[in-house]
Structure 1
């Protein structure tokens, strides 16, 4: 693992029950030496990514600056806002744009509809890889070796039957998603919530992320399923075309 990746893993330590970190936490949870932990805290603090508090270090103002830059200049966000707005106007459902990064699918844009409810994860949070249309439609377009790597890394063999994630049925389901060009989920992340997602690609036709419509199953079912599928696949295709022209 390179030094930059080791440095950035410090940010993974922040969570609701742990908003402040220190050297002991870094050493305990990441296995770094005290010297390394002190050095990383100093470097991140000097750059404004962390700020010193009496009990340790919290996230710093430089992160807010980066959030501003991404919100205003990220092509994926800039090219998708009106598409997401139109999906919400047409359906009243929530519309999401999510991006594939590492082994995670992360929501980068959320527009809540009139039927607002839990969407699985807020902006910037990773989504369940295997029980969400948003994530599964991304997995379906990865290379076979990538799918196997993600599967082996994130599926506990002792929970296969409980989770319904035996390899052969799982890979078969991804092939079916890829063939139809979208994925539908019903009550997987939250009871009574349904969604449909379509893939987004970069200029080299590598899967970049997904676009999703999600809402209460009653409202979702009020539309013809084909209509919702056409809406989200059409918006995802338009976003792919826009990104290619950037």
Structure 2
């Protein structure tokens, strides 16, 4: 039933029963039943042209902004990092095979990143996503590698051996740096955040104009990010 919510995209802000049936393969009876249940829960709202996302999602978003454990564990750290670097900061979280930015705070750059809060990110592009990718289980990595498009693998490794080495290098370093992979002229550095069982949960990223970013000593930035990620991880575990 919740797959219905995955149908909403910038180019498809409103859906109807026909769209649900054609894109998800549901029968009309199932589609009507699901939209009724989702509407009763406030997750959908009925419009003249079909169904749009409902007000309950806004309520949940507000709750997450105020009380999400990952955000709560990182608030003061976020402020300190921005004050020290004036770069843009992202907190991102993994679900299924998708990375979502759940927090974006601006630094000194006038032009913000295109991939801000709420935007799903390609697992094979950007330091934000690749530092998460590197800490997935081997079987997860192999599945993602086998299903990846050639264009994705060109940025990491076209063979499983090269891909595995790239992931191992990120784990060994404890951070990942990318340049221009999402926004031309923008660079970023990210470190992994783990849950209380040591599983990869998300990442913290500093990013900004490449000229400003490259003015920093890489060792300084990497130490800053690794320490910040470890503090957040420790707070979540505690």
TM-score of the aligned structures, taking structure 1 as reference length: 0.92
Task: Select the residue among 12, 17, 29 that pairs with 1:18.
Answer: 12
Determine if the alignment matches structure 1 residue 36 to structure 2 residue 30. yes
Structure 2 CA distance for aligned equivalents of residues 161 and 44 of structure 1: 38
Structure 2 CA distance for aligned equivalents of residues 121 and 96 of structure 1: 9
Could you tell me which residue of structure 2 aligns to residue 236 of structure 1? 229
3-state SS, counterpart of residue 109 of structure 1: strand
Judge conservation of contact 2:187–2:208 (CA < 8 Å) in 1: yes
Structure 1 CA distance for aligned equivalents of residues 73 and 169 of structure 2: 29
Judge conservation of contact 2:156–2:166 (CA < 8 Å) in 1: no
- For these two proteins, the number of residue pairs brought into alignment is 237
Judge conservation of contact 1:118–1:190 (CA < 8 Å) in 2: no
After the TM superposition, which residues 92-107 of structure 1 pair with which residues of structure 2 at under 5 Å, given as runs? 92-107=86-101
Task: Select the residue among 181, 185, 201 that pairs with 1:192.
Answer: 185
3-state SS, counterpart of residue 105 of structure 1: strand
Distance 1:164 1:180, change over 3 A: closer
Structure 1 CA distance for aligned equivalents of residues 5 and 152 of structure 2: 31
1:88, distance to aligned residue in structure 2 (A): 0.8
3-state SS, counterpart of residue 136 of structure 2: coil
3-state SS, counterpart of residue 42 of structure 1: helix
User: What per-residue deviation string (whole Å, max 9, x for no partner) do you get for residues 54-104 of structure 1?
Assistant: 111111111111111111111111111111111111101001111111001
Distance 1:140 1:160, change over 3 A: closer
Judge conservation of contact 1:49–1:61 (CA < 8 Å) in 2: yes
Judge conservation of contact 2:106–2:112 (CA < 8 Å) in 1: no
1:176, distance to aligned residue in structure 2 (A): 0.5
After the TM superposition, which residues 106-145 of structure 1 pair with which residues of structure 2 at under 5 Å, given as runs? 106-145=100-139
Judge conservation of contact 1:93–1:213 (CA < 8 Å) in 2: yes
Could you tell me which residue of structure 1 aligns to residue 65 of structure 2? 71
Q: Aligned-residue CA RMSD in angstroms?
A: 1.5
1:208, distance to aligned residue in structure 2 (A): 0.7
Q: Identify unmatched segments of 5+ residues in structure 1.
A: 1-6
Determine if the alignment matches structure 1 residue 206 to structure 2 residue 199. yes
Could you tell me which residue of structure 1 aligns to residue 215 of structure 2? 222
TM-score of the aligned structures, taking structure 2 as reference length: 0.94
Structure 1 CA distance for aligned equivalents of residues 154 and 203 of structure 2: 27
Structure 2 CA distance for aligned equivalents of residues 76 and 51 of structure 1: 30
1:205, distance to aligned residue in structure 2 (A): 1.0
